[in-house]
Structures are given as structure tokens and as C-alpha cells.
């Protein structure tokens, strides 16, 4: 699998550090933000090219649900995995069910994190291979 860019958003530095360490071993490019506003600034950069948004739901300021909505409006190709130990809101279930978003319950096992991210990124690769236009001669 080609190297992917993952934006990790969590207000807890320990969680960001753990996620970065685990996913960096897979040779992914990891961008970090401590809240939704900071993350949106990264998403809006012209050359950001984010493949996966891995975001906490409950954060001060802009929550992960609003961040995912704004990210999708800017970059519809970005896949989303929510992380939370506190929130099972209807909006989260709706996004997971209807939009194909992922969900990781905190605290999560490193193996579960790695598996979920790998599954989502492999879906991106399959979709891009399928949707490439045929070459014309």
C-alpha cells in the first residue's frame, strides 16, 4: 500500500502521540492537531492531500462531528474514523451508517487501531483503482 496522509485530531497529547507512533510504523505521513479549528486549518492548506481524518468527537471548540462535516465539504475524498469513549450520539451513528465513517471506542487496543486504519486505507486504494478512467488510444 502506498504511503497515505493521516490527520490525527485529539485534545489529549498522549492519544495523539500513541496514534502517531503506531501509524508511523506503517510509513504513513502523520499530521496532528489538538482541536477542530487547528485541524480545519490543516485541511484548508492547498497541498494538504489528506487521505484519512482520525478524530476525537468530544473536544473543546469545534467537535469532531463538525470537523468531519467541514472536511467533507472541502475534500469529499477524505475518509473519516471517529474516536471516543464518551459519545454515542445519533449524529455519530448516522455518519457511521450512512456515510461509511468508522468508529473506534476509547480506550482502544493498538491492534484495533492498526486494523481499522489499514481497512479504511485499503478501501481508499481499491476505490481509486476502480474509479481510474480507462486509457484511450
List, in order of start, the domains of the chain with CATH numbers.
Answer: 5-131 (3.40.50.2300)
Q: Give the integer Cα–Cα distance in Å for 1 and 103.
A: 22
State the pTM of this model.
0.84
Are the C-beta atoms of 57 and 64 separated by less than 8 Å? yes
Instruction: Give Cβ neighbours of residue 11 (< 8 Å, ≥ 6 apart).
Output: 34, 35, 56, 59, 60
Q: List, for residues 43-61, the tens digit of each pLDDT value.
A: 999 888 899 999 999 899 9
Q: Give the integer Cα–Cα distance in Å for 60 and 33.
A: 12
- Whether 134 has a pLDDT exceeding 50, the answer reads no
Amino acid at each position: 500500500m502506498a504511503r497515505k496522509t493521516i490527520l490525527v485530531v485529539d485534545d489529549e497529547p498522549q492519544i495523539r502521540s500513541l496514534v502517531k507512533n503506531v501509524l508511523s510504523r506503517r510509513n504513513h505521513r502523520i499530521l496532528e492537531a489538538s482541536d477542530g479549528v487547528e485541524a480545519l486549518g490543516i485541511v484548508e492548506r492547498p497541498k494538504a492531500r489528506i487521505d484519512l481524518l482520525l478524530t476525537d468527537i468530544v473536544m473543546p471548540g469545534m467537535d469532531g462531528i463538525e470537523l468531519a462535516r467541514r472536511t467533507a465539504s472541502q475534500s469529499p475524498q477524505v475518509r473519516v474514523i471517529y474516536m471516543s469513549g464518551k459519545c454515542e450520539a445519533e449524529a455519530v451513528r448516522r455518519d457511521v451508517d450512512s456515510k461509511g465513517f468508522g468508529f473506534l471506542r476509547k480506550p482502544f487496543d493498538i491492534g484495533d487501531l492498526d486494523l481499522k486504519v489499514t481497512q479504511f486505507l485499503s478501501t481508499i486504494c481499491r476505490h481509486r483503482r476502480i474509479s481510474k478512467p480507462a486509457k484511450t488510444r
